[in-house]
Amino acid sequence: MLEKIGMGEFRDHLAKYLSSTTPIAVTCQGQTVGYFLPARPEPSEAEIDGLKRAAERLDALLREQGLSEDALVREFRQLREGER
């Protein structure tokens, strides 16, 4: 169930809600008038570390295959154009 807060509370503590990852229902005189759904939660350290490891592995695979990033992007674009 969504946390419900009044419009005044939402306005007065907007910075707190903008940095939150929790959706909330905004109310006016007890009636829900809108929803705040954070669009970009900050990635966790584990997610960042996972992305770094994936990038390192991709770099290693490219080196093993003798490919450059440019060649990979070029092939991707050719394949994407072929789908259209």
pLDDT at 83 over 80: no
- Collect all residues with Cβ–Cβ distance below 8 Å to 65 and sequence separation of at least 6: none
Give Cα 68 to chain centroid, integer Å: 27
Q: What share of the chain is helix, strand, coil (3-state, %, to 5)?
A: 55, 20, 25
pLDDT bucket at 39, cuts 50 / 70 / 90: confident
Residue 3 identity? E
The 3-state DSSP class for residue 52 equals helix
Percent of the chain residues past pLDDT 70, beyond the cut? 98
Cα 36 to Cα 80: distance, rounded to the nearest angstrom: 36
CA dihedral for 15, 16, 20, 26, sign (positive or negative): negative
Question: Model-level pTM greater than 0.85?
Answer: no
